[in-house]
């Protein structure tokens, strides 16, 4: 279980996140939604301990602030927009970086078990034929899938995803989310993801957290939370009406 208790965090002594409380059970995903700049990435960075925060974050009762960097990497993996800064590695080498949290020494060679996990992760994102290709020769969507494979090879208890589908075509968006949904159920993991596409949230989320100005506006099952009035309030747009009008165009 991931417990986020009364988190305050931000930059230059100004709180962006103001008192967030949320619990995510194993085998479940939580989608964070809200308008641009409301603090979604800042909340993920706090959970990943990339930025300082007040409050506590616990995984299965253990406070993450008591873990060293390497232990933390076995518990939490962040696939973020900022991980798009990359080096000229092959797909295999990039995914292999996910295994170093599990290896004994910083530069120790990876075991055959590690290699199996790396290849399996590459296979799962359907890039096996690209495993020896340099990542700077991939499309944005392929690269995104490489970073997902790296996070899966890292095999943390909690995966944090910051707009994981932003470079993917619709088929790959759905595949990625279906795959993740299955992965967390099969392995009893937790996913916390920022998604902008409310259709995908409606379809895939176990629970939804709506943020605005760093405050939790609503939290619960998608059908309880994605209400017309709430969305109109925070996005300034009648999203349901807009979606229904789009659907009519398809008829």
Ligand X SMILES: Nc1ncnc2c1ncn2[C@@H]1O[C@H](COP(=O)(O)OP(=O)(O)OP(=O)(O)O)[C@@H](O)[C@H]1O
Q: 35, 8, 33: which is closest to 21 by C-alpha?
A: 8
Taking the C-alpha atoms of residue 39 and residue 41, their distance in angstroms, rounded to an integer, is 6
Residue 125 CB neighbours (<10 A): 23
* Interaction residues for ligand X, span 42-71 (CB under 6 A): 42
In the complex, the smallest distance separating the C-beta of residue 169 from ligand X, rounded to whole angstroms, is 21
In this structure, what are the phi and psi dihedrals at residue 165, rounded to the nearest 5 degrees? -105, 10
**CB burial of residue 225 (10 Å; 0-12, 13-18, 19+):** buried
**Length, in residues, of the chain:** 251
Which one, 38 or 205, has the nearer CB to ligand X?
Answer: 38
Which one, 84 or 245, has the nearer CB to ligand X?
Answer: 84
Taking the C-alpha atoms of residue 251 and residue 249, their distance in angstroms, rounded to an integer, is 6
In the complex, the smallest distance separating the C-beta of residue 34 from ligand X, rounded to whole angstroms, is 6
- One character per residue 8-37, x = contact with ligand X (rule: CB under 6 A): ---x----x-----------------x-xx
Residue 26 CB neighbours (<10 A): 16
79 lies in the site for ligand X, by CB under 6 A: no
Which one, 135 or 226, has the nearer CB to ligand X?
Answer: 226
Which one, 42 or 207, has the nearer CB to ligand X?
Answer: 42
41 lies in the site for ligand X, by CB under 6 A: yes
Which one, 11 or 128, has the nearer CB to ligand X?
Answer: 11
In the complex, the smallest distance separating the C-beta of residue 112 from ligand X, rounded to whole angstroms, is 40
Orientation of helix 140-154 relative to helix 112-124, angle to 10°: 140
Q: Which residues bind ligand X (CB under 6 A)?
A: 11, 16, 34, 36-42
């Amino acid at each position: 279980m991931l417990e986020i208790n009364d988190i305050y965090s931000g930059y230059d002594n100004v709180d962006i996140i103001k008192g967030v409380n949320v619990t995510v059970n194993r085998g479940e995903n939580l989608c964070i939604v809200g308008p641009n700049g409301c603090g979604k990435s800042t909340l993920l960075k706090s959970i990943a301990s990339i930025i300082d925060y007040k409050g506590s974050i616990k995984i299965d009762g253990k406070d993450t602030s008591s873990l060293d960097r390497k232990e933390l990497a076995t518990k939490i993996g962040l696939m973020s927009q900022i991980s798009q800064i990359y080096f000229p590695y092959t797909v295999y080498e990039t995914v292999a970086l996910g295994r170093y949290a599990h290896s004994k020494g910083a530069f120790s060679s990876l075991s055959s078990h590690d290699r199996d996990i790396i290849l399996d992760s590459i296979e799962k994102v359907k890039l096996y034929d690209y495993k020896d290709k340099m990542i700077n020769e991939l499309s944005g969507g392929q690269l995104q899938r490489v970073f997902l494979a790296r996070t899966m090879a890292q095999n943390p208890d909690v995966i944090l995803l910051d707009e994981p589908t932003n470079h993917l075509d619709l088929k790959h968006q759905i595949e990625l989310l279906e795959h993740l949904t299955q992965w967390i159920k099969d392995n009893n993991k937790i996913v916390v993801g920022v998604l902008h596409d409310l259709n995908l949230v409606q379809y895939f989320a176990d629970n939804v957290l709506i943020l605005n100005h760093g405050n939790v506006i609503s939290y619960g099952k998608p059908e309880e939370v994605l209400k017309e009035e709430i969305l109109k309030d925070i996005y300034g747009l009648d999203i349901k009406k807009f979606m229904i009008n789009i659907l009519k165009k398809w008829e």
